[in-house]
Amino acid sequence: MSLSRRFFAHCLACAGLAAGFRATPASAQAPWSPPAAADRCPSKWGAADTRGAMNLQTPEQVQRATRLIKSGRVVELGHKLETAMPFFGTRRFDVHLKQQFINPQANRRGSNEELVVTEIGQVGTQLDAFPHQTIGDETYNCTKVPEIASRGGFTKMGVDEIGQVFTRGVLIDVATLKGVRTLPDEYEITVEDLQQAMSRQNVRIERGDVVIIRTGWDALWGTDNARYVRTCPGIGVAAAEWLIRQEPIILGSDNWPVEVAPSKTMPDASLPVHQLALAVHGVHLLENMRLNDLAGAGQSEFAFIMQPLKVKGGTGSTVAPTAVL
């Protein structure tokens, strides 16, 4: 690291501590590794279960969510799908307009359409289905991936099986708690951060919620894509475990993996919270959310509505979630 970069890092650390940031020494955390199959399976919903925490969305949950609607204001939480989005690797989103065609009848009806070339499950604001992530060759409920994989998609637990999500949503605004536009690169959100933000907002997590964590990272979307995908602040393993104990159905954030990247708890691991949420506990992840408008609305609980695309056997879906206030 150059002298100037070391100086910048030192200044950022000092400023962060002054603003309420606290680094967690690696020695203070036990390294995390995926639990053995015998320790995570069968799921608490049974060996044959394929829905995971979505089992918590009941008719009563839906009715409870409707009672949160006071003004009827709709706040969109999804980014536009466009070529200017951040991408990883060979993921892409290309639109090719099929220009106007005038039909031969006397009324001269014209029509337009487009051809879209994209990886539909893993671009833009997106929901991860369980087969998207594995521990070895096993996904949620210790299901062997080769046993459910086919040329046309997965035969079980595809994104088409999730269905409509309509439940209570909770925003935990860590960026505002810290008084920053965005949390620092690679900042790990702790349990204490979450609890302080919830106390400040006077909100709590209830069983069956969609829990959304705001880092401010979406300020970089489309403006600094290289930085957006290089690293990001987010929840660590300890915070994820604490959140999952509150029994949410989805964990979401305005960054690309929900979790901090790279991991602080397990520096040599690749996205351990993905394994913890999807493969171990059956909790879906909702990534790349647009949360600044919701934060500006000043309402921490709301009716959350989202319908994944019914891509049969798909590993995920681009989505356009909404909060209704």
Contacts of 114 (CB under 8 A, 6+ apart): 95, 96, 97, 98
The single-letter code of the amino acid at 57 is Q
Q: Model confidence at 139, in pLDDT bands (50, 70, 90)? A: very high
| pLDDT for 25 beyond 70 | no
Per-residue pLDDT tens digits for 283-297: 999 999 999 999 999
Pairing mode, strands 234-235 and 188-189: parallel
Where are the chain's structural domains? 32-81+122-324
CA–CA dist 83, 222 (Å, integer): 9
CATH H-level, domain 32-81+122-324: superfamily: Putative cyclase (3.50.30.50)
CA–CA dist 142, 228 (Å, integer): 33
CA–CA dist 161, 148 (Å, integer): 14
What pLDDT is recorded for position 268? 83
Residue found under tokens 């925490």:
53
Can you tell me whether residue 46 is helix, strand or coil? coil
Per-residue pLDDT tens digits for 221-259: 999 999 999 999 999 999 999 999 999 999 999 999 999
| pLDDT for 10 beyond 80 | no
Contact 157, 50 (CB under 8 A): yes
Query: Phi-psi category of 146—alpha, beta or left, where left has phi over 0 and alpha has psi -120 to 50?
Result: alpha
Per-residue pLDDT tens digits for 158-214: 999 999 999 999 999 999 999 999 999 999 999 999 999 999 999 999 999 999 999
DSSP string, 79-114: PPP-TTS---TT--EEEEEEEEEE-SSTT--EEEEE
Query: Phi-psi category of 222—alpha, beta or left, where left has phi over 0 and alpha has psi -120 to 50?
Result: left
Question: E strands of 140-260, at which residues?
Answer: 143-144, 149-150, 153-154, 165-173, 188-189, 210-214, 234-235, 250-253
What pLDDT is recorded for position 30? 63
Tokens of 122: 């893993």
Q: Model confidence at 21, in pLDDT bands (50, 70, 90)? A: low
Contacts of 177 (CB under 8 A, 6+ apart): 20, 193, 196, 197, 200
Can you tell me whether residue 315 is helix, strand or coil? coil
CA–CA dist 8, 123 (Å, integer): 33
